[in-house]
Amino acid sequence: MTASREVGATTVARAVALRATGIERTFRHAGGPVHVLRGVDLAVAAGELVTLSGPSGSGKSALLAVLAGFDRADAGTVELGGEVLTSPPSWQRCALLPQALGLAGELTLAENVALPVRLGRVGSLARVTELLVELGIGDLADRYPAEVSFGQQQRAALARAVVGSPRVLLADEPTAHLDRHSAPKAVQVLRQAADAGAAVLIATHHDEVHRAADRTVVLDGGRVSGRVSP
Ligand X SMILES: Nc1ncnc2c1ncn2[C@@H]1O[C@H](COP(=O)(O)OP(=O)(O)OP(=O)(O)O)[C@@H](O)[C@H]1O
Q: Give the footprint of ligand X on this chain (CB under 6 A).
A: 27, 29, 34, 36, 54, 56-62
Phi, psi of 155 (to 5 degrees): -70, -35
For residue 57, the minimal CB distance to ligand X (Å) is 4
Nearer to ligand X by C-beta: 4 or 225?
Answer: 225
Reduce the DSSP state of residue 128 to 3 states and report it.
helix
In the complex, least distance from residue 98 CB atom to ligand X, rounded to whole angstroms: 11
Query: What is the C-alpha to C-alpha distance for residues 94 and 103, in angstroms, rounded to an integer?
Result: 17
Residue closer to ligand X, measured from CB, 22 or 82 = 22
> Cβ closer to ligand X: 56 or 87?
56
Shortest approach of ligand X to residue 62 CB, angstroms?
Answer: 3
- Amino acid sitting at position 110: A
Residue with smaller CB distance to ligand X, 63 or 94: 63
What is the distance between the alpha carbons of residues 25 and 71, in angstroms, rounded to a whole number?
9
- Least spacing, CB of residue 69 vs ligand X, in Å: 16
Distances from the Cα of 79 to the Cα of 20, 42, 76, angstroms: 6, 10, 10
CA distance 45 to 199: 6
| Total number of residues shown for the chain | 230
**Nearest approach, Cβ of residue 227 and ligand X (Å):** 17
**Could you tell me the smallest distance in angstroms from the CB atom of residue 202 to ligand X?**
12
132 or 203: whose CB is closer to ligand X?
A: 203
Question: Exposure string (b/e) for 178-209, b if CB count within 10 Å is 16 or more?
Answer: beeebbebbbebbbebbeeebbbbbbbebeeb
Nearer to ligand X, 29 or 180 (CB): 29
The CB-side HSE value for 123 (13 A sphere, CA atoms) comes to 30
